[in-house]
Amino acid sequence: MKDYNVNKSEAEWKEQLGLERYKILRQKGTEFPHSGKYNMHFEEGTYVCGACGEPLFASDSKFNSHCGWPSFDEALPGKIEYVKDTSHGMIRTEIMCANCGGHLGHVFDDGPTQTGQRYCVNSLSVDFKE
């Protein structure tokens, strides 16, 4: 296992995060589309890791991708770890918090903005700070 700036036992993570967030952030789960509180949230601020509070995405990088999950066209520099994911019979790029290793979602090369990126993020994996 990789050594992150924030390291906790799985029991500690489960106690801190609760069952739903633990399933997403630590067990690489996915919330149902259109169910997350940040899917259609467009206030000014910063989206931070739901496990450790590390800033991940600026609100001005968020856009409505109509995919059912919060989408961003870029992450804050150095805040995301990218891992090849071959689960579910496809090849994707998993995105994780570089500070604690929490699973955030996946990034795709089909974004509509100049970056061409769509960071597809679970609402349960982030918090919002104004």
Q: What is the mean pLDDT of residues 23-45?
A: 97
Q: Is the pLDDT of residue 29 over 80?
A: yes
Annotated catalytic residue 120: yes
Sketch the domain layout of the chain as residue ranges.
31-129
Q: Is the pLDDT of residue 1 over 80?
A: no
Q: What is the mean pLDDT of residues 37-47?
A: 97
What is the H or E stretch that residue 104 is in? strand 103-108
Measured in degrees and rounded to the nearest 5, phi and psi for residue 84 equal -65, 130
Q: How far apart are alpha carbons 37 and 85 in whole angstroms?
A: 26
Q: How far apart are alpha carbons 10 and 69 in whole angstroms?
A: 26
Q: Is the pLDDT of residue 108 over 70?
A: yes
Measured in degrees and rounded to the nearest 5, phi and psi for residue 127 equal -125, 165
In the structure, what pLDDT confidence band is assigned to residue 2 with cuts at 50, 70 and 90? confident
Task: Report the percent of the chain where pLDDT is more than 70.
Answer: 99
pLDDT of amino acid 31: 96
Measured in degrees and rounded to the nearest 5, phi and psi for residue 5 equal -60, -35
Q: Which fold has domain 31-129?
A: 2.170.150
User: Tens of pLDDT along 48-98?
Assistant: 999 999 999 999 999 999 999 999 999 999 999 999 999 989 999 999 999
Instruction: Say if residues 56 and 76 touch (Cβ distance below 8 Å).
Output: yes
